[in-house]
Copies of this chain bind each other. A is one copy, B any other.
Amino acid sequence: MTESLDATDWAILDELQHEGRIPFTELARRVNLSTSATTERVRRLEAAGVISGYRAEVDLERTGYPVLAVVRLKYPGPGNRHEPLRRLLGERPEILECLRTTGDDCYVMKVATTSMAHLEEVVDKLAEFGSTTTNLVLSRPLPLRGPRVPRARPSE
């Protein structure tokens, strides 16, 4: 499942993770390769699923979602029903991310809302499934990033 990536592939991934819309001519310049060789590598990475897509990153505050919170959900007792929650994820765009985890809590979610009242509404909905723990996000010392080359490696 793990593809074999050489130094050039990692250089391409680095660039595209920071600037996902640069022209391939410019990308080619940065990784010291011709445009067509670069394009071919990008297509290969896309086809292999190493690059799963390209996304515009949208500022939450400037789009009217100033309240960000981490909500953890713990299911009670035995016989947990997970389908209703999966359905809720589709209905509630306020839930930006949901991770199923080991440990005391089943799910860890990142939730963005327009106000505290709005957050309360979402948390109330989630509380129908189990007990929730909500923490507001004060700041984002590291907003979000993707994987980097594990260490300096020979060109393979």
Interface residues in chain A, defined as those with a beta carbon under 8 Å from any beta carbon in chain B: 1-3, 5, 13, 16-21, 48-66, 68, 70, 85-86, 89, 93, 95-103, 105, 107-108, 112, 114, 133, 135-148, 150
Contacts and interface: CB of A to CB of B under 8 A. Distances in A.
A56 B20 contact: yes
Number of this chain's copies in the assembly equals 2
Nearest to A46: B56
A60 B51 CA distance: 10
A58 B147 contact: yes
B55 A20 contact: yes
Nearest to A21: B54
Given A100-B138, A148-B93, A53 B64 contact: no
